[in-house]
Amino acid sequence: MIRKWSASIVRAGRAVRGSSAPVTYALIALCCLSFLAGPASGLNPAYGTGDELLAVQRAYFRRWGVIPAELFEGSAGSALTPATALFVHGSWVHLLGNMLFLYVFGAMTEERMGRVQFTLFYVGCGYLALLGYAVANAHSEQSLVGASGAISAVLGAFLYLFPRARVTSLLPFLFFLPVRFPAWVVLPFWAALQWLAAGRASDGPGVAYLAHLIGFGLGFGYASVRYGRPTGPTRVKAAPAPAPEGENQP
């Protein structure tokens, strides 16, 4: 059994190294592995069940997630949480939604930026998106986890770099029929939805839409300063809706 797992890991590592977007696939793998190993997946019986499992999950999110009220207390551990929170997700839906959007939009963005620059861009923008949310909600005691601040930055950069790329989306209000729109239609529409949702959001459990907006703005702004004119039309794989799963406040 151990040999089979080792062989699978080696094959996956070779596939990542040989791909055109190894950082994107490595980020997806890290997020999935951390979720499967943690209590949020519910797969490890060592974490218990029922109320015991819920208590472990809350402690896990508080340890690795961002708690705005504690972030600016000066401790090194709290200062690192906007980075660790990028690899923690609150549920299967939260994880799969984020990873799908990272897979769809991350590869092309990484190819355009390069591996090292894309890595720094992803982590840096994700950190700043969560930090910005914490500043705006400095008294919140809710733990904040998820990669969608960083993924929103990828969407912003993608919009600038590939504005005419045609994105296939499955929109709920069109009965999930696949439709193709250019990125300059889909992604600003997504940003508008985040803006509207952020205006109605409370500081209780839910989705931190403000982190999405900050990440999106950072990504678009960085790409517009760093790169020249956008590229020509490109086809992009299907995405299930015009937004990634949000930063989660368990």
Burial of 103 from C-beta contacts in 10 A (0-12 / 13-18 / 19+): middle
For the chain, where are the E strands, in sequence order? 166-170, 178-182, 206-207, 235-239, 248-249
DSSP state of 173: G
DSSP 27-68: HHHHHHHHHHHSGGG---GGG-SHHHHHHHHHHHHHHHSB-H
From the candidates 140, 143, 148, 152, give the one annotated as an active-site residue. 148
The pair of three-digit structure tokens given for residue 120, joined into one six-digit string? 């720094």
Burial of 52 from C-beta contacts in 10 A (0-12 / 13-18 / 19+): exposed
| Residue 148 known to be catalytic | yes
- Closest of 147, 39, 23, 16 to residue 83, by C-alpha: 147
From the candidates 94, 152, 169, 212, give the one annotated as an active-site residue. 212
Angle between helices 183-200 and 148-161 (to 10 degrees): 150
Q: What is the rounded CA–CA span in Å between residue 93 and residue 59?
A: 20
| Residue 34 known to be catalytic | no
Q: So which residues are the catalytic ones?
A: 148, 212
